[in-house]
Structure 1
C-alpha cells in the first residue's frame, strides 16, 4: 500500500463528501463512513492478497484520479454515445459518473417499474430511500475488499432498477456508462431488484474516449423467488483506462440468473461476479475476454451454493495476443447443507502469441457429500491439425488461423439472444483481431 497516495485520496474526501448524494440519510452516511475507514486502513488491494495475486493495481496508488463534477458531453461524443445505445431498449446514461436525463431514453416504462438515477432515488421520495436502505450494501459488504469500500465511500451516482412482482419486461434496460474526461474517476453504485415471478434483461455498457481514467462500478442484484434476470456486461473502455467492476448477486428460492461478461477494453480491467444460490435456484455465468497489446484483463467469479438442489454452469473463454495477460479465478463453494448440488465450471484460453499469458485458477470447495461438481481448464494455441484440415480444403494458413480464432470466440457471442446486442459484441470482436478471410455473415 502506498500510504502517501492513499492519504491523499482520504484527504480529498472531506472536500468531496458534501457533494455526494444522500447527505440527509444517516444510514448512508454511516455506510460511507465505515467504507472510508476500511479503505483508509487497507489502501488498494495488493498482490499479497490471494485473490489479487495475479493483478497489481499499484498504478492506482501512483496517480490521483479526481471525481468528475461535470456530466456534460460534447456534440462529437454525443454521436459516439448514440452509437452505443440499442434501439430496442430503454437506456439510462451516466456521463463521467453522473446521470444524464438529456441522453437517456426511458419513455413508456411499464407502470410500477423504476429505472432512475441513484442520486435522484436517494433524495426523491421516502419510498425509494427506504428501498435503498433495505438493499444497498446488503449483498456485498465493505470488507469484501478495499475497492468495494472505495466505491461505497466515493460513489457519485448510479442506477436503481426495480421490477415489481410478476412483471415481465418486453424489452431490455440498458445502462450506458461513458467517461469523457482525462484523469477522471467515475464511481457508480447500481442496484437491481427483480421481485418474485418477474423477468427482466439488463445490459451494462462501459465506453470512454481515448483518455486515461478510472471507472469503479459496483452492482448489487436481488433476484426474487421464481424470478429470472439476464444481465449482460460489455466493457469496451479506452486502451488507457483502468476499470473495476463488481457484480454481486443474491438469488432467492427457484430464482434463475444468467450473466454474460464481455471484457474487451481497458489497460487494466478487473471484473468480480459473485452469486449466492438458494434452494433449487439456477445460475449461468458466461464470459469472453479478449486481450491485445499490453492489456491486463482479470475475471474473478465466486458461486456460493448455500441450499440444496441448486444448479450452476460456468464457461469463460479468453483470447490473448501480443503481450496481453488474462486472468481467470473461478471458485465454487458448496455448503454443508447444499446437498444435490449440480455445478460445472470451465475455462478455455487461446494464446495467439508466444508473449501472451493466461493465469487460471479454478477452485472447488465442497462440504456436502451428495453433489455432482466438476471443472476443466485449457491453455494453448490453435490446433495444428485443424489448421491443416482447412488448408487441405484450399484455405490459406492465415485465413485458417483467423477462422479458428473467431469460431473459438463466437461460441460465447452466440449465447446472446438480443440481436442488436449480439451485433454490437460481434463488432467489437471483429475489430480486435485480423479479419482477412473472415466474413461477418459467417459468424
Structure 2
C-alpha cells in the first residue's frame, strides 16, 4: 500500500467533496466518510495482497488524477461519439463521470422503466438508492471500491419493473475526455421479478493518460433474466478499474460478456452471488499488445443448492503484453447439487508475452459437480502445417488460427451492432493479411 499517495488524494478530496451529489443525505455522507477513511488507511492495492499479486498499480500513484466537478459534454466530438453509439439501442452517455441527458438517446423507453443519472436518482428517489448502494459491492473488500464510493461524481440508475421484457438493449456509454482526468462512476441496475433486459457497458476515451474507476452493482430478482456486456476499449495510456458486483435471487439468470481491449493497465472484477437454482454464465476475451497489462478477476459464490455456473475466459497476448486471470468458485456448505465449470485458455503470440492464471475451487459441500481447466501456449504447429498443406502460406495460417481462437467469444454476442463493433476491435489489434472479415 502507498498511504502517502492516499494522503495526496485525500487532501485533493476536500476540494471536490462539496460538489459531489447527495450533500443533503446524511446516510450517504456517512458512507463516503467511511470509504475515505478506509482508502486513506489502505492506499491503492499492492502486489503484496494476494488478490493483486500479479498487478502493480504504482503507475496510478505517480500521478494525481483529478475528477471533474462539472459536465463538459460540449467538448465531445459528435462524429467520434456517434461511431460508438450502437444502433437500435437506448443510449445513456457519461462524460468524465457525469451523465449527459443532451447526448443520450432515450426516445421510446417503455413506461415504468426508470433511467436517470445517479445524481438525479439521489435527488428524486434517495430511499431507493440507499437500499441498493453498497449492497452488492463491499467497500471493505479492496481499496478501489472504497475509492469509488468516496469519489463517485455521478453514474447511472436503471430500474426495470416486474414482468417487463425490453425489446432493445440499454447502452451505458462511458467517455473520458481530457488528459489526467479521473472518471469515477457508480451504477445501479435493478431487474425486478420476471423481467428481461440486456445492458451494454462501453468504455472509451481520447488518446491520453487518465483514470477510470467504475463500479456497477447489479440486482437480478426472482426468475428475472439479465445479460450484461462490457467492452473496454480505452486509450493505450489509460488506467482502468471496472468492477461488476451481482446479486441473483432464486431462479434468476445472469450472463456476462467481458471484452478487454484497451488501457495501459486494466483490471476488471466480476463477482456474482447465486441463490437457489439460479444460473450464471461468464464469458471473457482479453487482447493484449505492446506493453499492456490486462487483469481479470472473477468470483462466483454458490450460496444455495441447485445453482449452475459456467465460465470461459480466453486471452490473446502479443509483444510484451501481460494477461492475468484469477477465477474463483466458492461452494458454500448449504449449496448442495451445485454444477460449476470454469475454463481459462491463453494464446501467446510472442516469446515476451506472459499469461498468469490462477483458477481456484473452494468446495464446502459434498454433493456437487465442479471442475476447471487452464491452458497457456502458442499456436499448434500441426494446425499450421495442415493449412500450409492446403496452399495457405504460414503467415496467413497463423492469422487465421489466431482469429478463430478469439472469434469463439465474439460469436457469443447476439446483438448485431455490438458484435460488429467488437469484431472491428479484434481485427484492429492483430495482422489481418489473409483473413476475410466475412469468414468471421
Where do 5+ consecutive residues of structure 2 fail to align?
none
Asked if 1:376 is matched to 2:360, the reply is no
What is the distance in 1 between the residues matched to 2:233 and 2:416?
18
Aligned residue number for residue 201 of structure 1: 198
Provide closer, same or farther for how the CA distance between residues 154 and 76 of structure 1 changes in structure 2, counting only shifts above 3 A.
Answer: closer
Q: Is the partner of 1:420 in helix, strand or coil?
A: helix
Aligned residue number for residue 47 of structure 1: 47
Task: Verify the 8 A CA contact 2:3 2:42 in the aligned structure 1.
Answer: no
CA offsets 1:218-255 (integer angstroms, 9 cap, x no match): 00000000000000000000000000000000000000
Aligned residue number for residue 164 of structure 1: 161
Where do 5+ consecutive residues of structure 1 fail to align?
none
Aligned residue number for residue 291 of structure 1: 288
Aligned residue number for residue 310 of structure 1: 307
Per-residue deviation at 1:109? Answer: 0.8
Aligned residue number for residue 352 of structure 1: 349
Structure 1 stretch displaced more, 60-69 or 247-256: 60-69
Per-residue deviation at 1:14? Answer: 1.2
Per-residue deviation at 1:371? Answer: 0.2
Task: Verify the 8 A CA contact 1:73 1:180 in the aligned structure 2.
Answer: no
CA offsets 1:200-229 (integer angstroms, 9 cap, x no match): 000000000001000000000000000000
Per-residue deviation at 1:107? Answer: 1.3
Aligned residue number for residue 430 of structure 2: 433
What is the distance in 1 between the residues matched to 2:331 and 2:8?
41
Q: Is the partner of 1:148 in helix, strand or coil?
A: helix
What is the distance in 2 between the residues matched to 1:270 and 1:351?
20
CA offsets 1:92-151 (integer angstroms, 9 cap, x no match): 00001111111100111111101110011111x2xx211101010011111010000000
Q: Is the partner of 2:83 in helix, strand or coil?
A: helix
Mapping for residues 31-180 of structure 1, pairs under 5 Å: 31-73=31-73, 77-123=77-123, 125=124, 128-180=125-177
CA offsets 1:35-66 (integer angstroms, 9 cap, x no match): 00100100000000000000001111111000
CA offsets 1:58-98 (integer angstroms, 9 cap, x no match): 11111100001342245662211111001110000000111
Q: Is the partner of 2:77 in helix, strand or coil?
A: helix
TM-score (norm 1): 0.98
What is the distance in 2 between the residues matched to 1:328 and 1:317?
9
Task: Verify the 8 A CA contact 2:201 2:231 in the aligned structure 1.
Answer: yes
Asked if 1:222 is matched to 2:219, the reply is yes
Per-residue deviation at 1:4? Answer: 2.4
Per-residue deviation at 1:180? Answer: 0.9
What is the distance in 2 between the residues matched to 1:161 and 1:81?
22
What is the distance in 1 between the residues matched to 2:73 and 2:291?
29
What is the distance in 2 between the residues matched to 1:5 and 1:274?
27
Q: Is the partner of 1:174 in helix, strand or coil?
A: strand
Asked if 1:333 is matched to 2:335, the reply is no
What is the distance in 2 between the residues matched to 1:65 and 1:307?
42
Aligned residue number for residue 15 of structure 1: 15
Q: Is the partner of 2:23 in helix, strand or coil?
A: coil
Provide closer, same or farther for how the CA distance between residues 76 and 184 of structure 1 changes in structure 2, counting only shifts above 3 A.
Answer: closer
Aligned residue number for residue 247 of structure 1: 244
What is the distance in 2 between the residues matched to 1:204 and 1:410?
20
What is the distance in 2 between the residues matched to 1:275 and 1:432?
30
Find the partner of 1:343 among 340, 343, 356: 340
Asked if 1:278 is matched to 2:285, the reply is no
- Output the aligned Cα RMSD: 0.8
Aligned residue number for residue 409 of structure 1: 406
Task: Verify the 8 A CA contact 2:3 2:41 in the aligned structure 1.
Answer: no
What is the distance in 1 between the residues matched to 2:268 and 2:199?
17
Aligned residue number for residue 228 of structure 2: 231
What is the distance in 2 between the residues matched to 1:249 and 1:219?
8
What is the distance in 1 between the residues matched to 2:48 and 2:137?
22
What is the distance in 2 between the residues matched to 1:332 and 1:87?
36
What is the distance in 1 between the residues matched to 2:378 and 2:74?
43
Per-residue deviation at 1:392? Answer: 0.5
Q: How many residues align?
A: 440
Task: Verify the 8 A CA contact 2:73 2:103 in the aligned structure 1.
Answer: no
Asked if 1:261 is matched to 2:258, the reply is yes
What is the distance in 1 between the residues matched to 2:51 and 2:229?
24
